[in-house]
Chains A and B, each alone.
Chain A
Amino acid sequence: MVNRMVMNVAIDMPAGLMETENEKNTSVYPEVSVGVPLVASPKMSMRNVDVFYGEKQAIYNVNVDIGQNEVIAMIGPSGCGKSTFLRSINRMNDTVDSCKVTGQLTLDGEDIYAAKMDPVALRARVGMVFQKPNPFPKTIYDNVAYGPRLHGLASRRAELDEIVETSLTRAGLWTEVKDRLDQPGTGLSGGQQQRLCIARAIAISPEVILMDEPCSALDPIATAKIEELIAELSKNYTIAIVTHSMQQAARVSHRTAYFHLGHLVEVNETEKVFTAPEHQLTEAYITGRFG
């Protein structure tokens, strides 16, 4: 948050849009998202992003930045494209044959869809935690050591041990599992499994962590632990989290983006989104009129 200077006058934001603030937008999607989609010196920036599944367009002209060490929450009704958008950021959508992404997406100014960008290397920098905990059917140790081994991050066993311990500690799981590192990760409880997946993701020291509804399969206590963890992780990482829970978005994020049927309607400081939404659709969603 420290180095996040909000640019209120974005480069290519049409002037007309700024004036509509007071009279509340109609339910028509804004041509450019209202609020503060762009920030100065972003970690990642997305411009004019369209995503198609075959003939069907899933994301329409999204422009948004993710700031350094920021937690940005993406909310919106089911099927609004927030997960699709998230999966475009680290090119997970490459694995879906019919999926096509256009527009410019950059990480530290590098185009992530450029021909010379290796999606494998990209995914090592932009890690991902999924909706359902998906530990590998291996031991807890091997789950965490999986990424470091792939990328050759440790040359000796001791180094690997250290990475595993640090990652598990950061994920708040070390004390619970340190005596059973050789047992299968699938034997942990749901919340522990999800923290194991987070540990697995941070073991390769990514710069950005994408979380796709990380708590939707967990009970409230496990959810609270993960939320604490997100706050802790944001000191070191940039985090984008998709969530269905508006309370969660309000609790963990600095900025919140509201998606509606493939359109990015509004992006703003989380507090503003939930107390004074600028767009009618956002207001309708957060007051529970649909979603």
Chain B
Amino acid sequence: MQTANILIVLLTLSAVAYYMARGRSVAMAQSLGGIRHLHSLPFFYGMRAAIWCSLPSIALLFLWLMFDEPIISALLIGELPESLQPTSAAEHNLLLNSIENIASGALSAETVDPALVAAAESLTGLREIGRSLLTAAVLSTAVLGMGWGWVKVSPKLRARQQVERVFRGILLSCACVAIFTTLGILLSVLFESLRFFQAVPLSEFLFSTEWSPQMAIRSDQVGSSGSFGAIPLFVGTLLISFIAMFVAVPVGLMSAIYLAEYATPRVRGLAKPALEVLAGIPTVVYGFFAALTVAPFLRQTGESIGLEVSSESALAAGLVMGVMIIPFISSLADDVINAVPQSLRDGSLGLGATRSETIKQVIFPAALPGIVGGVLLAVSRAIGETMIVVMAAGLAANLTANPLETVTTVTVQIVTLLVGDQEFDSPKTLAAFALGLMLFVVTLVLNFIALNVVKKYREQYD
């Protein structure tokens, strides 16, 4: 049976187990005088049986699938005559590959060693046997579990505790998935970065001001040897993020204050969703808006007042990114401002403060920690944003603070380093991992600061 089919059968068996055990507990309860004489509700007896039916058999299924291929290949290789025994790992894989191809008919059996043909046949045979064994083993485990679940049903059985323990385990493992994924990404980026730093010294990466990652791929090729100073990239990133925050923070905050403090419920009901639509626009749309509308507009305006504006400028990318971040800040700030207790507003108004005085002197300071947290989260977002800058900011790694010039960012360089054909042991490619690691560290530090600011001041009013 195919794995998918086995899973479907297991699911059905679990449902059957649930209903059987549940029915048995209800029947037992009836003879005792009602469900309250059972230790747990019938649902838990049913769930307990379903868990016994499904969990062990699914675990067995996965273990089997993990180990059957290596075992089969070991058997195959063992059967081969001495002359064909592989001497290296690469040869071993090649051999297995050709056996596989013969078995699937992709490689004609007439052109190869008869020993391999025999191996291919035995591969097919072994696989069939493996399948049948697997099906039998899994299904019998399931049936055994189901029986166990059914037999053990008794009024004294602590089914609720057992089921809840299993559910807690499932919740825990879901939480672990996120943590381990993060850890896995971090480690893989870290190890690739270490390889990069073997080729390029850390000091060059951190302190050199020249970024030109082109490497000669073949030794006879004319090309630069590459230089990997990340400073222009981080300066570009910071410049664009700064422009974006320069737009987003005031506009976002003020719109949040308007929405939270001044807007009538009707205006609020209309304006808030409208503002949040901005958050729903895909960044690629923002990107071509920046590249095709804003950048030419800035260039023309600049020319008309005698400024030289590059057609791909930090300003265009930053402005559009700022607009993208507005709903992020306004919605976070709006929540924080709304969380300031009404009693503080009343207290201030009751002392003869105007609404704007109240906002300036009481509400804003009280909401400040949350607002700072929100702004820092928005900064992390600006730093990590890719699509807009790829399209609108350009590729040249200029070390400049002039927003009218082309700059490039860390994320843009990661994209360009990895697009197209790559050699995975060249520093050019590995540089992407190092940049990614730096970016990860920077945003992590920002998030850490943001969370701590929020935590430190969270209970100020209460």
By a beta-carbon cutoff of 8 Å, the part of chain A in contact with chain B is 90, 92, 95, 97, 120-125, 127-128, 130, 132, 134-138, 146-147, 150-151, 184, 186, 197, 200-201, 204
Contacts and interface: CB of A to CB of B under 8 A. Distances in A.
B351 interface: yes
A92 B346 contact: yes
Interface of B: 264-265, 341, 343-354, 357, 361-362, 365-366, 460-462
Contacts of A186: 460-462
B183 to A, nearest CB: 38
Contact of B265 (A97, A138, A147): A97
A128 B353 CA distance: 12
Given A97-B265, A137-B366, A137-B461, A127 B347 contact: no
Nearest to B341: A134
27 contacts: A92-B349, A95-B345, A95-B349, A97-B264, A120-B353, A122-B352, A123-B352, A127-B350, A130-B346, A130-B347, A132-B343, A134-B346, A134-B347, A136-B362, A136-B366, A137-B344, A137-B366, A138-B365, A146-B348, A146-B353, A146-B361, A150-B352, A150-B357, A184-B460, A201-B350, A201-B351, A204-B352
A187 to B, nearest CB: 10
A120 B358 CA distance: 11
A269 B70 CA distance: 97
B265 A200 contact: no
A188 B357 CA distance: 25
A134 B346 CA distance: 9
Contacts of B345: 95
Contacts of A95: 345-346, 349
Given A134-B341, A137-B366, A186-B460, A200 B351 contact: yes
A90 B350 contact: yes
Given A123-B352, A186-B462, 6 more contacts: A90-B350, A92-B346, A127-B350, A128-B346, A130-B350, A201-B350
Nearest to A150: B353
A134 B343 contact: yes
Contacts of A134: 341, 343-344, 346-347
For A146, A184, A201, which residue has the most chain B Cβ atoms within 10 angstroms?
A146
Contacts of B265: 97
Nearest to A151: B352
A127 B351 contact: yes
